[in-house]
Structures are given as structure tokens and as C-alpha cells.
Amino acid sequence: MNDITVALVQLNTTVGALTQNAASIAERARKAAAAGATVIVFPELALSGYPPEDLVLKQHFLEDCRDAAGELAARLPPDTTVIVGSPWPTANGGASNSAIVFAGGRIVGRYDKMVLPNYGVFDEKRVFQAGERAALLRLGDRQVGLHICEDSWDTGDRACASFSGCAWTR
């Protein structure tokens, strides 16, 4: 892959409407791929709708998000890399604010937001667990760091400075 054409998709999802949101994501991804995009990026928490707030405290909702992401994988253009924001259940029964990476009809990776805001209208530290590793996505001969929102302007050595964590190859 020499050239990467990125589509940044803005859409208005509905909190809790996983089936409707997934259908909208799949439709927009197909349109972006038809227009030549090779990497298609959706907003933070697009699958669940933003902000899901206390819904992420319900284990069944997190499991529904995980299941919806698994079903979405088969509906996305297979020759693209698609990144979709969604809550994700953690091993210890909590939730992460994640970027799910899809390619070839399956989930190939996940990045968990590391810098959780807790000021003004944001209370992410209450409902999410912070990710522990930066993520590097390999696209052919290119490498792209994945960030979610505040991770992008973190001046510490967590999200922006250390990409030695997990890596996925497309």
C-alpha cells in the first residue's frame, strides 16, 4: 500500500441505537470506499452514540456493543481499514472507550483511550477505565498512531510519545 486515502466520516448517531448506528456506519463506509478511501475513520463512541454515559456501566450494554461490532465487521468494505469508536467490555468487568479496527471482514485490533477527561461535562474517569498502551497501526509500509480525543494532545509520555505498545498489520 503506497498511497493512503483517509475518509473522516462525521455522522449523527443515537445513544443506545446500536442496530441503527451500525447500519449508518456500514452505509457511510461503503460510500467512502466507493469514493476511493482506503482508511475510513468514524468518531469516538460512534457505534453506541455519544455520550453513552451510564449505559456503559451495564454489562449487557457492553456485550451488545461488542456483538454489534462483530456483526458490523462483515458489513464493511473488505479492502479498507475502518476504525469505529465504541465502548468495549474489559476483562475485569469494566468498560473502555475504544477505537475498533476492522479489516478484511473482521476485527483486527482495538485501542483503548488512555487520557480520560474529568472536567466540565466530561466524567469519563467514572465510567471508563484508561487504556494502558499506545497503538500503532501498520498500513502496508506506513505506520499510523491511533488516538481518541484527548489522547491526541496529551503532552506526557503515554498516548503521543510511546508507540511501542500493540501493533496491527493490515
Residue numbers annotated as active site: 44, 113, 149
Measured CA to CA, the distance from residue 119 to residue 170 in angstroms comes to 36
Taking 3-state DSSP, the helix, strand and coil percentages for the chain, each rounded to the nearest 5, stand at 25, 25, 45
90 CB neighbour count, 10 Å cutoff: 15
Residue appearing with cell numbers 509500509: 141
Check if the beta carbon of residue 62 is closer than 8 Å to that of residue 69. Answer: no
